[in-house]
Chains A and B, each alone.
Chain A
Amino acid sequence: MKHVTDSLTDYLDGLLNQEESAAIASHLKECSTCKQALAQLKELFGAFEQEDVLAPSKRVREHFLEALKSEQTTKVATTLENNINVLPKKSGVRILLKIAAGIALLFGAFMLGRNQNERQANQSLATQEYKMLEMQQTAMISLMGNQSPSKRIQGVNLITKFKNPDEEIINALVNRLFLDKNMNVRLTAVEALSMFAKSETVKLAFIKALATEKDPSIQIAIIQNLVRIQAQNAAEPMKYLLEQEDTQPFVKEEINRVLGEII
C-alpha cells in the first residue's frame, strides 16, 4: 500500500468510512514514515487544543503570496509557448491545414486544460505547504510559551521543520535563550539557534549572551558556534570571560585554544 499521509488529517478527524479507516490503521502498523507523520499531526492538533490560535506573521503571508504569484506567471507563459509551437508554419494543402488546425486546436485545448489542472494542483500544493508551515509556526510559538519545560523543548525542536525561519521564530528562540528559567530549554535553544548561526540576529544574540552568561555549558556551546562562523567581534567577550575569576577552568582553556583561530 502507498503512503497514506494525505488522508491522515481526515483519519484523525474521523471523516473516513470504516473500510478506509481500517485500511489506514493497518498501514500505520507497518509503515514508520506514516506513523511518524501521524504522530506529528497529533502533536500539532494537541498543541492547538491547548493554546489560543495565533495569526501567521506578516512576513510569512507576504512570502506566500509572492511565491504563488510567480508560480502562476511561469505556468501561463509556458502554456502560450506550447500553443504557438504546435501551429503549422506553412502548408500548401487546405485540407491538411484544416486538419492541422483542428489538431492544433485540440492539442492546444488539451495543453491548456492540463496546465490549468497542473496550476490548480500546484496552487493547492502551495496552499497546503503554506498551511502546514503556518500550523507549525503557530504550534512552535505556542508550545514555547507552555508552562511545561518538556513542551517548551518540543516547541524549540520544531525548528527542524523550517529551512528559512522568519525573524519572529528566531526572536522567539533568542527569548528562550535569554529568558527561560529552565537550563534544558535554554541549552536546546542554543542548539536550535546554532543551525542559523550565520544570521546576523543570531550572531549578535550569541555575542550578547556570552557577555552575561554564567552557565559553563552555554558558554562552551556559544564559543564553539562563534568560532565556527568566524565571528570577529567575538574575541572581546571571550577575553572578558578569561579575566573573570568565576569562569570555570575548562571554559578558559577552550577560549585560549580558540582565540587564535578568530583573531
Chain B
Amino acid sequence: MKKITSILFTCLLTWTIQSQSDYSTSLAGIEWVKIESKSSVSIKTHDKKEIRIVLNDPKPIPEKAKGLRLYGDAGEDNTTVGFNVTTSGNNLIVKHVRKSGEAIIFLPKSQNISVTNSWGGTTEITGFSGEVEANSNLNGALVLSNLTGAVTAYSLNHGIQVNFTEINQNSPIDIRTTNGEINVTLPEKTSANIVLSSWNGDIYSNFDIKTKEKDGLKSFSDRDINGIINGGGVNIKLKSTNGTIYLRKE
C-alpha cells in the first residue's frame, strides 16, 4: 500500500511540475506568431497545429510569490510559464514576461514566425519552412538553421548565423547587422542574385559570384558587391556596417 501511495504521489508531483512549466494553445486562424523576449529562446518544430511553450530552466518561484501572479512590462503572466499570450487579428503575440530564464517554443513547421529580442541571450530558430523574421535590437545573437523560407534578420551588436537547406525563389532574403558578423550557408546549387556589402568589415565567400552590371542588376551603392550565382534568381542581400560577412556553400 505504501508503495502504491508513493508511486501515486510521484505521478502527482510530476504532473504538477509539468503543468507549471508547459503551456499550449491552438493556432487555428493564426498567420504569424510574434515572439518578444529579453532572454534566450529556442524555437523548434513539432507536428501539431498549436504552440507549446516549455520552460528550459525553471527557476524556483520565490516562496513569497506563492499565490501571486507575475507582472512585467510585457503584461501579466497568463500562461503559468512566465509568458503573456494574446491574439491580435491573425497574429498570436507571445511575450516573455520574466526578465531571465530560457524557454523552448514549439510551432508547426510551416508557421510564419517573427522574433524580437530586446536585451540579450541567443535566439535559436530551427527547421522552419515558413517565413522567419528575426530581430535582435541590442546584444542578442541570432542562430537560424535548417530554414527553407524567406528570412529577414537584423542584429545590432551581435552576429547572425543562418543555414539554409533550400532557397525559396518567391521571396527575397535580407540579413543585416550593425556591429556583428554575418555567417550564411546556402546549398551549393542555389540560384540567386546576391548583394554583399560591409562598410568597415571584410567579405569572404567560396561561391563563384559573377558580377555583371549589364545583366540588369542594379547596385544601390558603390560599395556593394553585386552579382549572380548559378545563373541568378531570388534576391539575397547580406549587409553590415562594421561586421565581417561570410557566405559559404553547404
- Listed in ascending order, the chain A residues whose CB lies under 8 Å from chain B are 32, 36, 39, 46, 147-151, 153-154, 157, 160, 182-185, 187-188, 191-192, 194-195, 215-217, 220, 248, 250
Q: With a CB–CB cut-off of 8 A, which chain A residues contact B173? A: 150
B140-179 interface (Cβ within 8 A of A) = 150-154, 156, 169-176, 178
Q: How far is the CA of A46 from the CA of B170 in the complex (A)?
A: 10
Identify 16 residue pairs between A and B in the complex whose beta-carbon atoms are under 8 Å apart, listed by A's number.
A149-B131, A149-B133, A150-B131, A150-B133, A150-B150, A150-B152, A150-B171, A151-B171, A154-B171, A182-B133, A184-B154, A194-B220, A195-B220, A215-B156, A217-B241, A220-B199
B193 to chain A, nearest CB (A): 10
Nearest neighbor of B173 in chain A, beta-carbon distance = A150
Q: How far is the CA of A172 from the CA of B158 in the complex (A)?
A: 31
Task: Check if B172 sits within 8 Å of A187, measured CB to CB.
Answer: no
Given contacts A36-B216, A154-B171, A216-B241, contact A147 B178 (CB under 8 A): no
Task: Check if B221 sits within 8 Å of A216, measured CB to CB.
Answer: no
Q: Which of B16-24, B52-60, B61-69, B231-239 is near enough to bind chain A?
A: B231-239
Question: Ordered nearest first, which 6 A-B pairs have the shortest CB separation?
Answer: A150-B150, A183-B154, A191-B220, A150-B171, A184-B152, A184-B174
Given contacts A154-B172, A217-B176, A220-B199, contact A191 B152 (CB under 8 A): no
Nearest neighbor of A146 in chain B, beta-carbon distance = B171
B183 at the interface (CB under 8 A from A): no
Q: How far is the CA of A194 from the CA of B218 in the complex (A)?
A: 13
Q: With a CB–CB cut-off of 8 A, which chain A residues contact B106? A: none
B202 at the interface (CB under 8 A from A): no
Task: Check if B112 sits within 8 Å of A148, measured CB to CB.
Answer: yes
Task: Check if A183 sits within 8 Å of B135, measured CB to CB.
Answer: yes
B242 at the interface (CB under 8 A from A): yes
A106 to chain B, nearest CB (A): 45
B200 at the interface (CB under 8 A from A): yes
B31 at the interface (CB under 8 A from A): yes
Query: Out of B170, B176, B215, B242, which one reaches A184, CB within 8 Å?
Result: B176
B83 at the interface (CB under 8 A from A): no
> Per-position contact with A for B107-140: 1 when CB-CB < 8 Å, else 0?
0000010100000000000000001010100000
Q: With a CB–CB cut-off of 8 A, which chain B residues contact A151? A: 171
Given contacts A32-B231, A147-B32, A157-B172, contact A184 B220 (CB under 8 A): no
Task: Check if B178 sits within 8 Å of A153, measured CB to CB.
Answer: no
Task: Check if B242 sits within 8 Å of A148, measured CB to CB.
Answer: no
Task: Check if A148 sits within 8 Å of B150, measured CB to CB.
Answer: yes
Q: With a CB–CB cut-off of 8 A, which chain A residues contact B242? A: 250
Q: Which of A148, A154, A191, A250 has the most CB of B within 10 A?
A: A148
A176 to chain B, nearest CB (A): 13
Q: How far is the CA of A154 from the CA of B239 in the complex (A)?
A: 16
Q: With a CB–CB cut-off of 8 A, which chain A residues contact B216? A: 36
A166 to chain B, nearest CB (A): 20
Nearest neighbor of A149 in chain B, beta-carbon distance = B152
Q: With a CB–CB cut-off of 8 A, which chain A residues contact B31? A: 147
Task: Check if B221 sits within 8 Å of A250, measured CB to CB.
Answer: no
A88 to chain B, nearest CB (A): 51
Query: Out of A39, A154, A157, A220, which one reaches B241, CB within 8 Å?
Result: A220
A228 to chain B, nearest CB (A): 10
A251 to chain B, nearest CB (A): 9
Task: Check if B171 sits within 8 Å of A217, measured CB to CB.
Answer: no
Nearest neighbor of A188 in chain B, beta-carbon distance = B174
Q: With a CB–CB cut-off of 8 A, which chain B residues contact A149? A: 114, 131, 133, 152, 174
